[in-house]
Amino acid sequence: MKFLRRQVNKALSYLGYDIAIDLGTANSLVYVKDRGIVIQEPSVVAINQKTGQILAIGADAKKMVGRTPAHIVATRPLVKGVISDFEVTEQMLKYFITKVYKKRFFLTPGPRVIIGIPFGVTEVEKKAVRDAALNGGAREVFLVDEPMAAAIGARMEVQEAGGNFIVDIGGGTTEVAVISLGGVVYAKSLRIAGDKLSEDIIDFAQDQFKLLIGERTAEAVKIGIGSAYPLKEKRAVPLRGRNIVTGLPEEIMVTDTDIRKAMQKSVKLIVDEIKNTVE
């Protein structure tokens, strides 16, 4: 464990502000050695489709969702943990790096960067991440499997002979892994995670209540009352959207039971993979 931490710290030690990036489908975090997490923003970019100009990145871009003309769209450059739009990802990484280095970026070499990637991604997908970071201002790029990064971050004794079991549910992927003796013994990356659960809620609202809701509404309900197992106390929240029959705004009450039912198929797939790994 200490060896792995030394290796990570060594990779970040050449400059005091070298960084680690959790490049997520839904959110991205930037960690600076000895300072902790300095950036935690949505992996969202607002683009003017008429000109191709990037108008905002991160939290500022997410605030624009649903509040701008039709030709200005908020897009996620990563889908299910991998890059779907290289140029936009490059600009997003450049934004994160320059935000950390805003006072002295032009006076020092670019940082050495460690980026977590889903286990089992292809060499092409790895190269896309590495190239995007280099073009975004990184001096050197190191890639680490997300299950290993999660285990080290949780301070598990990954160097020991005993197995460490990891379940990391992100926005685009769920990582299920067993780690022992400093390596990944078994890992599976499912393209089912938080975003899919939000999509399930959107579909459920439309199928069951004829109510059209957006991604932000579904996410808020998921966080508010979503659960894999029945709660001790019943909960309900208002769900606002547009009735697809009348076209009029409508508000209904949904319960934790409704939301659990909406997500149950996706949750079962995650649970099944956990069981398979344990067995």
Could you tell me if residue 66 is left (phi over 0), alpha (psi between -120 and 50 degrees) or otherwise beta?
left
- Residue 128 counted as domain residue: yes
Cα–Cα nearest to 277, from 143, 125, 152, 167:
167
Residue 63 — very low, low, confident or very high, per pLDDT cuts 50/70/90? confident
**Based on the domain organization, do 93 and 221 belong to the same domain?**
no
Segment 211-221 mean pLDDT: 93
Do 17 and 148 reside in the same domain of the chain? yes
Residues sharing a CB contact under 8 Å with residue 135, sequence separation 6 or more, in sequence order: 90, 94
Domain match, 135 and 204 both: no
Contact 162, 185 (CB under 8 A): no
Q: Do 143 and 209 fall into the same domain?
A: no
Report the domain count for the chain: 2
Q: If you search the block for the tokens 């490049």, which residue do you land on?
A: 23
214 and 103, same structural domain?
no
State the pLDDT confidence band at 9, using cuts at 50, 70 and 90. low
Q: Does one domain contain both 244 and 122?
A: no
Same domain, 146 and 200: no
- Name the 3-class secondary structure at 12: coil
User: 251 φ, ψ to 5°?
Assistant: -130, 130
d(CA 54, CA 61): 9
Task: Name the least confident of 31-45, 92-106, 132-146, 258-272.
Answer: 92-106
CATH number, domain containing residue 238 = 3.90.640.10
Residue 88 lies in a domain: yes
Q: In this predicted structure, what is the pLDDT of residue 277?
A: 87
Residue 260 falls inside a structural domain: yes
Compute the distance between CA of residue 264 and CA of residue 116 in angstroms, rounded to an integer.
Answer: 28
Query: Is the domain of 94 the same as that of 147?
Result: yes
Using DSSP, how many helices (H) and how many strands (E) does the chain show?
A: 8, 16
Q: How many residues does the chain have?
A: 279
pLDDT exceeds cutoff 70 at 251? yes
Residue 145 domain flag:
yes
Phi/psi of residue 137, each to 5°? 120, 0
Whether residues 224 and 112 share a domain: the answer is: no
Same domain, 134 and 204: no
Sign of CA dihedral 95, 97, 99, 105: negative
* Each residue's pLDDT tens digit, 115-162: 988 888 889 989 999 999 998 888 899 999 888 988 888 888 888 888
177 inside domain: no
Mean pLDDT to the nearest integer, 197-215: 96
Residue 181 lies in a domain: no
In a domain, 171, yes or no: no
Residue 279 in any domain: the answer is: no
Residue 117 and residue 211 in one domain: no
Cα–chain-centroid distance for residue 170?
Answer: 5
Q: How far apart are CA 169 and CA 177, in angstroms?
A: 12
The mean of the pLDDT values for the chain is 87
User: Domain containing 220: what range?
Assistant: 194-269
Among 93, 124, 152, the domain-final residue is: 152
Final residue in a domain of this structure, among 123, 152, 181: 152
Sheet holding 236-243, edge to edge: 211-212, 236-243, 249-255
